[in-house]
Homo-oligomer: A and B are copies of this chain.
């Protein structure tokens, strides 16, 4: 299951805290029952328009990956938790909302594992909004 979370955080310091992001990527996989298989990769990108700058982090999992991108001046963050195994997406989403102090957020869940593609299958993407 691939959890895609996008939301607003009113804490600019948090959104540019590389150490916070690194520690989250070190610790969070284990909390949701996943196996981290790399160190976190953290990057700061500010060679851009002022409203686009932010930090990004990525970690490989046995189950796939977690990726996070912040846009500091826009108070915005994109989070991907992609696992080839099922996991408790409600718990994961709530945990992330708290960790990033999201005031508003949207979660999309996309099923990535197909034993056979079935055109016309009921749309497996589910959306949930919070804070609106």
List A residues at the B interface (Cβ < 8 Å).
2, 4, 6, 37-38, 41, 43, 45, 47-48, 52, 56, 58, 60, 62, 64-65, 67, 69, 71, 78, 80, 82, 84, 104-106, 108, 110, 112-114, 117, 119, 123, 125, 127, 129, 132
Contacts and interface: CB of A to CB of B under 8 A. Distances in A.
| Most chain B beta-carbon neighbours within 10 Å: one of A117, A127, A129 | A117
Contact of A38 (B43, B52, B80): B43
A132 B119 CA distance: 8
Interface of chain A, main secondary structure: strand
Given A38-B43, A82-B80, A112-B78, A104 B117 contact: yes
